[in-house]
Copies of this chain bind each other. A is one copy, B any other.
Amino acid sequence: MGISGNLSPEFALLGFLVSGQSHGYDLHQRFTIELGHVWHLSQSQAYAILKRLEQRGDISAHVVEQEKLPARQMLKITAQGRRRFFEWLELGVGANARSIRLEFLTRLYFSQLHRPENIPQIYQSQLDEIEERIESLENLIEHLPPEQTFNRLSLDLRLQQMRLIQNWMAEIRTQFHISKDIG
């Protein structure tokens, strides 16, 4: 889990349900419109995740018959689901490029929706993780035997990507009006 657990399309669906009950089709639609360039989530994948969430007790479902269209599974978030969602919202996402683009942005999206006052804190802890990661990569590269060409190229790219993300985070600071003196 944690670092690359790739769990957040799950939490994103949960996050939409925090605003009120809904059903699979609609959740997938909203996801696609709002975060479709962040992740790609297929319809069947969305249904699979929702089923899992139900099995875990994070959401509850009840069938709603419709006059003309097929019946819907109306989905509600449970107390447990709500708790799990807000716990997730405050976790760090780790510091690899992919999970920052995917998970951190998703977290930011739902923080803005449900907990805007927490944004500075979430922002800062993410930035801290990135800076730690940069140091640890610099260290790794320094101690890598010189003949390890391909491992070095890989680590170099990762390091450069982390530095890029550091700058991109500065853009986010501006866009979300986060002041500098937090943490």
Least distance between A109 CB and chain B CB atoms (Å): 5
Least distance between A36 CB and chain B CB atoms (Å): 7
Given A38-B154, A150-B35, residue A161 in contact with residue B105 (CB < 8 A): no
Indicate which residue in B34, B150, B165 contacts A105 across the interface (CB closer than 8 Å). Answer: B150
Q: Is A180 an interface residue (CB 8 A)?
A: no
Q: Is A30 an interface residue (CB 8 A)?
A: no
| Contact partners of A172 in chain B: CB under 8 A | 153
Tell me the number of copies of this protein. Answer: 2
Docked Cα-Cα span, A151 to B105, in Å, equals 9
| Contact partners of A98 in chain B: CB under 8 A | 97-98
| Contact partners of A34 in chain B: CB under 8 A | 150-151
Binding site for B on A (CB under 8 A): 34-38, 97-98, 101, 105-106, 108-109, 140, 144, 148-158, 160-161, 164-165, 168, 171-172, 175
